[in-house]
Structure 1
Amino acid sequence: MNIMEGINSYFRQLSSKDIEEKKHRGFVGGMWDEIGALQFEFLVNSGLKPKHKLLDIGCGCLRGGVKYIDYLDLQHYHGVDINESLIKAAYKEIEEYKLEEKQANLIVSDSFEFEKFGTQFDYMVSISLFTHLPLQNVVKCLIKARESLTETGTYYATYFESPFPAYLDDLEQKPGGKVTKYDRDPFHYSNQEIEYIAELAGLKVEIIGDWGHPRNQKMAAFRHKKTAKS
């Protein structure tokens, strides 16, 4: 049983026909070109170089991944997702973008098994992952990320922001109109809760906030405490 079953709809497997018809692009939220370019430009502006090793957590079918793979050095892109059908779709996208020679590393995991890659990462990124996870899963993800992050590395992750902790009411995110919730998908978190989650995971967090996301997802940067920006 997929651990996300009952939490969100992300466990649903797409058919081969769905993938051939590119329905996977809509399944991960659409806005393929816009959000793919947005996240790529953000990471490059934040210091990502071709020589760096990147882990894309919740990589899906490579909305941003195709841009990272093209940019990074050989074998330096690593992607992990819980949904096996999306990883199959990811390989189709790699073929379409003619990126096979870059030898991207992709795995399916439902428990954040980043150690399977056998390396440490300079950068990590999650776009629209924490938005679908309850607190305990976010904490687990961050703990596992900490174990695979280089001493000077940074993990950038997006979330839907609420005005204060334990915000029980539904909240319409503007722009975008997505309605987020405290106790079910899509989830929202206050900045204080993000800071608390980071503390539980043994990390320091920098709240970046707005970064131009069309559906109002905010950005946070997680780092090891001894190397975190003050």
Structure 2
Amino acid sequence: MTKPPPPARRNRASLAYKLRYARQNPDKIKAYLSRVSRDLKFRVASRDHVAYYRAVMKSDTARNPESAVGSRSHERWLALGRMQFDYLLKHGLKPDDRILEIGCGNLRAGWHFIGHLDAGNYYGIDISPDILLAAQQTLVRQDLREKLPHLTVVNDLKLGFLPSRHFTVVHAHSVFSHSPIEVIDECLANVGRVLAPGGFFDFTFDRTEGAEHHVLREDFYYRTETLTALAEKHGFRARFMDDWEELPHGQSKIRVTHREP
């Protein structure tokens, strides 16, 4: 595994960080308190993290589907989608590849993948039915109906309804950054079955070199070695993607592949 560059050590869940951030950004205090109130409400009403985050996405999508997937503006939505597509293109993405996009959202990157791939070769899943309705609107706007993409809502990341050894590329951008470790473990325990021989699974995450932590059960920060060790436990080789670090995106990326027999 290539050694990653050193990340920030800030613990965004610590009281010291919150007080310092509030002093520096007083205009954001009201929005943060609103998130705290929403967090308490959704925790009480949700049976598990998937239900919790589905409620978060419903709330955020109602305001703006593009900001719901983490884009501050339409221009940023376009730029982040293009960045993900260009990266895979540089890594050899071909029209006959078969992509499974976990957490496809409103197709920020997906519409680029769909346009590039042969018809029927894109499969997007998400836990949020609301964001998948927004994804349908993206398909219409980009005139991609003839590409026959699949869009499916899921309750977990067990992937049990998908065919074995089928997808040459599995892609999850900004999914594990919103997932507790048990959800990541579930995904890594099951994604190997649907990943074709010679294929790869790319996922991004919020990286810390300090204490692993989360903010309001919405944003999770992990050490690189935690996730690479988890992938290796499930029979993968894991590699930190240094070339992704050169791009302006704010998250890190790991690629996992099947171990050679």
- Give me the TM-score of the superposition, normalised by structure 1: 0.82
**Corresponding residue number in structure 2 for 1:140:** 186
In structure 2, how many angstroms separate the alpha carbons of the residues matched to 1:80 and 1:112?
9
**Cα deviations by residue, 1:12-41 (Å, 9 ceiling, x for unpaired):** 42699x4xx8x2011111121111000000
Question: 1:15/1:95 Cα in 2 relative to 1: closer, same or farther (>3 Å)?
Answer: farther
Instruction: Indicate if the aligned counterparts of 1:210 and 1:219 stay in contact, CA closer than 8 A.
Output: no
Instruction: Indicate if the aligned counterparts of 1:139 and 1:200 stay in contact, CA closer than 8 A.
Output: no
Instruction: Indicate if the aligned counterparts of 1:49 and 1:72 stay in contact, CA closer than 8 A.
Output: yes
User: How far did 1:2 drift?
Assistant: 6.7
**Corresponding residue number in structure 2 for 1:43:** 88
In structure 1, how many angstroms separate the alpha carbons of the residues matched to 2:240 and 2:55?
27
**Cα deviations by residue, 1:200-221 (Å, 9 ceiling, x for unpaired):** 3221101114514434201110
Q: RMSD in angstroms over aligned alpha carbons? A: 2.5
Which amino acid in the other structure matches residue 121 of structure 1? F
In structure 2, how many angstroms separate the alpha carbons of the residues matched to 1:199 and 1:60?
28
Question: 1:5/1:29 Cα in 2 relative to 1: closer, same or farther (>3 Å)?
Answer: same
In structure 2, how many angstroms separate the alpha carbons of the residues matched to 1:149 and 1:6?
26
**Corresponding residue number in structure 1 for 2:37:** none
Aligned residues: 210
Deviation >6 Å, runs of 4+: none
Q: How does 1:182-201 map to 2 (within 5 A)?
A: 184-201=217-234
Hey, which of these two has a bigger chunk of helix by percent? 2
User: How far did 1:139 drift?
Assistant: 1.1
1:91 aligns with 2:136: yes
Q: Unaligned 5+ residue runs, structure 1?
A: 171-180
Q: Give % identity.
A: 26
**Corresponding residue number in structure 2 for 1:203:** 236
Instruction: Indicate if the aligned counterparts of 2:58 and 2:130 stay in contact, CA closer than 8 A.
Output: yes
User: How far did 1:5 drift?
Assistant: 5.3
1:118 aligns with 2:151: no
**Cα deviations by residue, 1:161-191 (Å, 9 ceiling, x for unpaired):** 1115xx15x6xxxxxxxxxx38943111112
Question: 1:90/1:116 Cα in 2 relative to 1: closer, same or farther (>3 Å)?
Answer: same
Question: 1:144/1:192 Cα in 2 relative to 1: closer, same or farther (>3 Å)?
Answer: same
